[in-house]
Copies of this chain bind each other. A is one copy, B any other.
């Protein structure tokens, strides 16, 4: 099975070598799972990716996780192979247990302030998804722009390349999956939206810098690909295996 093929109802659980390597249950286009890929890659933690078809979940996956949601991280070195869920809980756990590339500020106040900005970003994820997924989107860009103003002003005030300073930190990685997907908006027939280059000077510079980051690069998809997936999802038939089939076709040619 190719690594980007998504496991489905009739599949059998993949057998991995007893190598002690973390197993991440994911979906290739899920922004929440994307967060965990970024943190694992930023910290150079080896892991197996196991992709799940969310519209036809395998029984073995439903049984092994308390919520049957992705991302789910199986800790094979711990007794009983516990499975962690919830993207922010998983990322905080990884930062605590793998301190080599620390992603939070060491000052508890600064850490709390970054966590607030991560939580607040969640509040307008809904606005972004409305734009990306609605068939006939009510183009309420005002809500999206007002949300992004917070981050534009914050980053300008910090005066660093990244929210995390000279290199991306937890806040950068936790908001990145949705920022990467903004690029899908202009490929979308219904919206064709781009971020205002005057209003978001700092954030757009940040986006270019993020695109050079090793962890971002290793799980990156361009706007056209994201738009294609969104369009399949809007049509009620999420094309989870889009990349898998494309890779197979490329091998045949």
Contact = CB atoms under 8 A, between A and B. Distances in A.
Interface of A: 66-67, 75, 78, 82, 84-86, 89-90, 92-93, 96-97, 108-109, 111-113, 115-116, 119-120, 150
Contact of A84 (B67, B85, B112, B120): B112
Given A108-B97, A109-B78, A109-B82, A120 B67 contact: yes
Contacts of A93: 108-109, 111-112
Contact of A86 (B67, B92, B115): B115
A63 to B, nearest CB: 16
A98 to B, nearest CB: 10
A-side binding surface: helix, strand, loop or mixed?
helix
> Which of A75, A85, A109: most chain B CB closer than 10 A?
A109
Nearest to A150: B66
A103 to B, nearest CB: 15
Nearest to A119: B86
26 contacts: A66-B116, A66-B150, A67-B120, A75-B109, A78-B109, A82-B109, A82-B113, A84-B112, A84-B113, A84-B116, A85-B116, A86-B115, A86-B116, A86-B119, A89-B112, A89-B115, A89-B116, A89-B119, A90-B112, A92-B112, A92-B115, A93-B109, A93-B111, A96-B108, A96-B111, A97-B108
Given A82-B109, A86-B119, A92-B115, 17 more contacts: A66-B116, A66-B120, A75-B109, A82-B113, A84-B112, A84-B113, A84-B116, A85-B116, A86-B115, A86-B116, A89-B115, A89-B119, A90-B112, A93-B109, A93-B111, A93-B112, A97-B108
A75 to B, nearest CB: 7
A212 to B, nearest CB: 30
Nearest to A118: B89
A57 B116 CA distance: 21
Contacts of A113: 82, 84
Nearest to A97: B108
Contacts of A75: 109
A25 to B, nearest CB: 15
